[in-house]
Structure formats: structure tokens, C-alpha cells
Structure 1
Amino acid sequence: MIAPSAQALGRRLSEWRGTQQMSLGAAARRIGVHPTTFQRWEDGRRPYPRHLEAIADALGADLATVTALAGPAPRRPCRPAPADAPVLVRARLEAGLDRVELGRVLHVGPATVYQWERGNTRPPEDLLPRLARQLGLSREELDLALADHPPCRYDGEVLPGLGAVLRERGWTRAQVRDLLEVASSTVFAWETGRTRVPSWALRRLATACGTEVGELAACGRRRFRRPASGLAALRRRVRMTQREAAAVLGVSASSLGRYETGRRPVALPLARAMARVYRVPLAPVLAAAGLAPPPLLTQQWTEAQLPTVLADLRQAAGASMSEVARHTGVSHPTVRRWETGESLPSAGALATLELQYRLGRGRLTALARSGQERAGSRSQSRLSAAGSSSPA
């Protein structure tokens, strides 16, 4: 359809091409269209709105002047709509628009316009003023026509603090699920800010809480941070992320998260490793993890306490006698005799246990050497006493 007012822009384009001594193909490439399209513009066809800015740049004119030369966009003649057609369809046909033209103005596809007209989806809130203007409807008439449409995907807003607000007002997640008749996973996504909270759900929650929608939304926009646990605070003091600390400690990031939130107990060897990595004494780590250190492990050890120390170390690590036996390369009864004091571990076995329990080097082997030296001195004294009492 050729608009009479677009002939002025066509003459201007023809004069510009002649002044620049450009061929039809060169002028079309300058604007970014096919030569046939440029020829139609010169013949009086109105360009699409998306091409007007490129034409204004080529002519060296402002966009308002080029739009005035192009004239108003042509509209199809009004055609009657079926009697049972939806309100949006009747308004579009009366405005002389098809779905492609309406979608081009709103920057959506014709399939999207079709879904709006069928009542399958609702247009976003930011498009409603332009849609009402193109259809020749008031905002109230358009809202009435969209009253039965399901909420738009982008309707509502993100409220990361909604869960904390609802907990403060005494609403559990199960109660919210029953009130709104949605799945628990949907409520979780709304309360944590992973998806938008629809307007209808926010209005129903505000009514149930006895507050205004704006007040509930304002409180929900604030992001509430859970207070950091003691272990997490120690980790952040040395400016380490969970992934970095987990790599140094030899555990996964998810396991470290469970330790910090108290969902998994912290073993004593891991607590020692945390104290070393976080550069703090062992006592703050044990207090943050909610562990009471065994009394014996907080004292200076003597060789007489070696069996009890070995038993306490194994129990604090959460290991069985069989596991200690496999790690040190001995039998289960041998480990039992170590812990009952019937026999002493070798220096190599004690060094292996120091590595297994993450002790300082020499903590256990020093006790064994001290015990062996005293045993040797007592044997030597008995031999000397026996030699002195024998007859000449």
C-alpha cells in the first residue's frame, strides 16, 4: 500500500542518491536494505519505522523530519469482527491492524499477540499503555478485557526477604502453600527471590497478614542475611571462600557448608586442620563447632597415659579399631592391646598414627621413646643389682 505523503520522502531519497552519484545498489547497501526495497521507497512506498533512523543518518537530517516526510503509517480499512470475537480481536480489527503490524509496534511476535487474544497469556505491565493506545482503548477498558487472563511470566517482583517477613509474622511455608494453593517448591522459590512473586499472590498474602501490599513488598525487597556461624566467621576472617577452604582442608565445598551450618558434626582431626588453616588456636574452632575437647587431649601427655591417649584419639576421629589397624598395617587385636596397655606401638606405627590423627610431629613417638628409655634404665638397674648380690 503506497501512502501519498510518503512520495515526498521518496523524492528526497532520489535527490540524495543523485547528489551522491550512487547507484541503486550502493545506496541500498549504505542504509542496509535490498535494492528492490530502496526502489520501492523512491516510488513512494513508506519505509518501516525501524528503517527511518538509518535513512535520517544517510540524509543528514533529524529523525522527526524524516518521520514527517514519510507521513503516518498506512492502516488497513476497518473490517467487522465476528460477534463472538474477544475484545482484543475486535479492537485490533477496528483499528485496521493485523497481528504482524501490532506486534511490530510493540516489539513482539505475532504469535505473542495471538496468545494475548486467545486469553492464554497476559501482556507485561510496561506494554499495556502502548497496547491501549494502538487499540484505541482506555486503560480501564483494557484492564477489564484482560481480567480473566492468567498472570504474565514477568508479572510481580522479586522479594528475597519475603520468607523472613512471613516467619516473623508467624506464617510457615506449609501454611503459605495451603493458603495460595501452590506447590511447596513454588513458595520456596518466591521466598528466596529465585522467581517473581505474582501480584495476585502478594495481594492474598497481604490480606492474610493484615497489612498493605506496598508495605509487604517493601519489607520483602530487603535481603535478610542469616547470621554467619562460628566456623564461617573464622573462615571469613582469613578471607577465604568455601571452595578455597574446602580445597585446603581436603573436603568438598558442600561438606564444608554442612559443617558450617551444623548439619554434619566436625571430627577432631578436621577441627585441628581448620585451626591450622584459619590460623587460630584449637579451642575457638571446637567452640564454634559445638565440640567439647576431651580433657585428656588438652593436657600434657605422659608415657603412662599413652594407651588412654590412643583410645581418645581414635574415638575423637570417629574411627574403629579395624580402620586404625588397616591404616597402620597391623591386626585388630594389636590395636586393642595398644589401647589397653598390654603392648606398646612401634615408632613407625606411632608416626603413622600422628599423620592419621593430624598431630604435631613427635607428639606420640616422644612418649614411646621416653617409655622405652625408662624401661631400659629399669632393666639395667635390675641387672646391676643382680650382679652386685651374686657371691664372689
Structure 2
Amino acid sequence: MTAVYACDPGSARGRLHPEQESRFRSPFQRDRDRIIHASAFRRLKHKTQVFIEHEGDYFRTRLTHSIEVAQVARTVAAALGLNVELTEAVALAHDLGHPPFGHTGEEALNALMRPYGGFDHNAQAIRIVTSLERHYADFDGLNLTWETLEGIAKHNGPVPEPIPYALADYNARHDLELHTHASAEAQVAALSDDIAYNHHDLHDGLRAELFSTDELADLPVLKGCFAEVDRIYPGLNYYRRRHEALRRFFGILVEDVIDLAQERFARAAPESVDDVRHAGHMMIRFSDGLWADLKVIREFLFYRMYRAPVVVTMREQVTEIVEDLFPLFMERPEELPKQWRKDVADATSDLALARIVADYIAGMTDRFAIQEHTRLCGGRITAKGILDGG
């Protein structure tokens, strides 16, 4: 049953460029499908999720992470009577703006772009879906519905001043009401992101041997998960034991969000999606007790995984790649691919050129950034060196 505060595709606010609607798909289904077919979505396959000791087929990438987020988001949205297609579209698009090398690449690019308005991956996602994807005859971007764009822009809450330039530029043409909260569907996508990475970072950290199963079993929430597995399956194989514990942890996170959201919606009794937007707080969140436990787990991951010595070494190396490429393209824009040169020719200032260079670097995959650095900067840093941690 659809909730009264869910986004109704029949009442969608439309697209910047009017289009004839499909006879077979709702507006939000079309948005989801366009995102899946976007070049930027495919490139997530070779973009870092978290730096770990070495790359392998079993570690998450931005693409597999986005798929896991979408799976969680669909489950939660369906349980709450929300629009599943819109929730999935926002979940699949939420990381489109990430540059190569994960948050390390974003930090480096933001520092380089500080004189030109900075860099923010959420705002860059809007730039991608409204401008940089150039495949359609009638418009640049994907021409997504207002609701999907709103969800991408502010799924984490109202956008504070100063608004990132990539978002401010589009918002001036198509007001996304950045001062309010987003729909419940977008809020579900945001919490699903937290659920997915809190679960899979523990899994990947174990596989990378950055910490042990015993250490994990001492953490809040997880202690109970391991105890339950040991009670039901005494003597279980090492790998199956930790998988069973982590899937229980995953389930606890999902159920907590659903249970609390049901309580909060019942108490607030919103009668429309606009009531959710103007509630003044996020309707979708973790309970206070679980949030406190997750802070302990996040602190553990920060020191044992995100700032592990081998990870810190790789952070330094890939930061150097971004720091070398940005000024090089600023000084030698002719090194940009042919399809970018018209934009360069139209650039009338260093500001305009810097934003083109940032767009180009942000669109790179990890492996392509390493290859370009090798080609243009003499090969001081190689893929093998990064993957070997030296």
C-alpha cells in the first residue's frame, strides 16, 4: 500500500526539458533506466570504494557499492510504502560524482579547486546528470525529473551555504528548493548508503586482513551477532561464521531504520511529501542506541582500515596523481581529449578552464588516472606500485 507521504509519479513536477511520457514506464522508472545506461554509471566499475591492501575481484567498487545501496533502499522503501523506483534511482545515482581514488581523490580535487569554487561529489553528480552526459539529441544531461534531481542534491539534508558551484549553477535554472529536506524516498537512499558501507567495509577489511574476526566480535552489536551464530551453529567454519554474523548485523541495521521510521511517521502523521520536506528534521534515521554503537564501529574502521599504514601510503600516492594532473591540464589543455576541446575553446577565464579540467579528472576511473599520469608525468607512480603498497 502506498503511503500518503510517498512521491506519486503521476504528480511529478516534470523535467527541465518537457518530454512525452512513456506508455510503459513511470517517470521515475525512466530516470532509473537512464542512470543505469549513463557512461558515468559504467565508470563506477573502476572507481575506488575504500583503499585496501591490494585490489582483488572480491572487494567493493563504487559500482558494486551503488548496487548494494539500491538493494537496501528498495527493501526499506517497500516496507514504508514509498515509491520504490524513485528511491532506487536516487540510490544508484548518489555516487556518480565521485572522482577517482574515493574520498582521497575528492579531498585532493577540492583543495585544487578551492580558488575556483571547490569540488563536492554530490554537486558533481548533479552536473553529470544535467550537463556532462551528452548523448541525447534534444538536451545535455539525462533530463531527469525534479524529484530525482532533488534527491541527488539533498538526500543528506538541506544544502548549506555556500552552495557548491556545480549545484548552484543548475539550481539557478531549475529550483530544487535546496533549503528544505528531501522526500522520504531520498532520505531512505541516504540511510541505505550508511547501511551498505557500514556492512561491506567490515567485510572487505576482514578479507584484506586489516583486522581479525576476534577484534570484530568484540565490537558493539557485532558481539551479539557472533554469539547468536555460535549458539545456533557451534563449530561453524571460520569464513561461514563471520559471514553469518555480518549478515545478521546487516539485518539489524535495516530493521532498525524501518521500525523507527514507522514510529516517526505514525507520530508525525505527514499528509503529503511536502510535509516530509518541511518537517524540519530527517524522518529516516537510526535509533539513538544503534547510532551510538555505530559511532564505535566507525571509529574502529577509521583507525584500523581507513588510516591503516598501507592505506595511508596509497592515499599519499594517489593524491600526488591528482595534484600532478590538474596543473598539467591547466597549463596544457591541448592534452585533453578531442571532444573536450570545444569546451576549452569556449572558456573565457581560468575559472571556466579549471571547471572543465575538474570535470575531466573527476570522470576518470582509477586505472585511467594512473595511466594518464604515467603517460604525461613520466611514470613515477604506477598501478603496480600502488597495488603493492610501495
Q: TM-score, normalised on structure 1?
A: 0.20
TM-score of the aligned structures, taking structure 2 as reference length: 0.20
